[in-house]
Amino acid sequence: MKRIYFIAAAGLSFYATDLVADTKKPTSKWTCEEFLAIDDQFQPKVIYWASAQSKTGRPLGSAVDIEGAEKVIPMVIDDCKKAPKETFWNKLKSAWKKVEDDAKSLGKKL
């Protein structure tokens, strides 16, 4: 399983989201509409960053599961496009749950 240290990436992604987001709200308070307003090239970075954060904005760990995140990215974007008024955080959590459940059913550990 591929893992990457996240400190530098989190810093860059946080900086990028502050530059492109119209709001100073934490990602845990964003709607899908706010997430989709970000430039397409930054959306995966926001997902990486938000995946490593708790709702308080503090890092959950020092590494992120790249393989899992690559599966989560299109799921979150598609789900947000279908329901732009719903929360980005719930879509992200739901996508990670699906990926983790799929991995468990295949006998893999994320």
CATH number of 3-105: 1.10.890.10
Which stretch of 5-19, 56-70, 75-89 has the lowest confidence by average pLDDT?
5-19
Mean predicted confidence (pLDDT) in 98-103:
89
Give the span between the Cα atoms of 6 and 81, in whole angstroms: 27
pLDDT bin (cut points 50, 70, 90) of residue 4 is very low
Quick one: pLDDT band at residue 9, thresholds 50, 70, 90?
A: very low
62 three-class SS: coil
> Tokens for 38?
């970000």
pLDDT at res. 28: 86
Residue 110 has pLDDT above 60, yes or no: no
Residue 100's contacts (CB-CB under 8 Å, 6 or more residues apart) are 68, 110
User: What single-letter DSSP state applies at residue 53?
Assistant: B
pLDDT value of position 18: 46
For 16-71, how does the pLDDT look when each residue is reduced to its tens digit (9 = 90+)?
444 445 557 888 899 999 999 999 999 999 998 888 876 555 656 656 678 888 99
